[in-house]
Amino acid sequence: MINSLKEAIEEKLASHYSDNNLELIDAIFKEDYKKEKDIIENTPSEEIKVFESILSHNLLPTKIVAHNNKAFNLATFINSEYLRVSNSYEYHQDEIEDVKKMICEINNLSKNKTLDKVDSFKINHLLKKLYELLEHWQK
């Protein structure tokens, strides 16, 4: 009885954090900094899984490697929430593989897509931040 109750609570929390991650990604892409800040302040750091959520919801082809993409928004978020936080690696070690997958997928998608200079610049800027993030987290 207690185990099933505990499992139900854990499932509900996991679903809640998954929804929070999607809302956070939406706030990042829409540059809704107030909503972004609220979600970050009310979600434990280790439950923020932006990269996993982007990959699992297949957002790279539609939001990142696309015309009028949101790559710069994500790069800005990475810079402010991860790279400027000296100990962010303590909470996000489990996301290193997702960041590597993201880099690989962005590179593969970019090969098959013709984008204008601005969109290409944004993607390259994001890739630069993702590589910096890997370096920051692999201490």
How confident is the model over 28-44, as pLDDT tens digits?
A: 999 999 999 999 999 88
Could you give the percent of the chain with pLDDT greater than 70?
A: 86
Q: What values do phi and psi take at 66, rounded to 5?
A: -155, 165
Crossing angle of the two packed helices 71-78 and 117-137, in degrees rounded to 10: 20
Enter the pTM of the model: 0.86
Q: Is the four-CA dihedral 72, 74, 75, 76 of positive or negative sign?
A: positive
Using alpha carbons, select from 117, 120, 88 the residue that is nearest to residue 107.
Answer: 120
Using alpha carbons, select from 65, 67, 54 the residue that is nearest to residue 101.
Answer: 54
Q: Is the four-CA dihedral 120, 122, 46, 82 of positive or negative sign?
A: positive
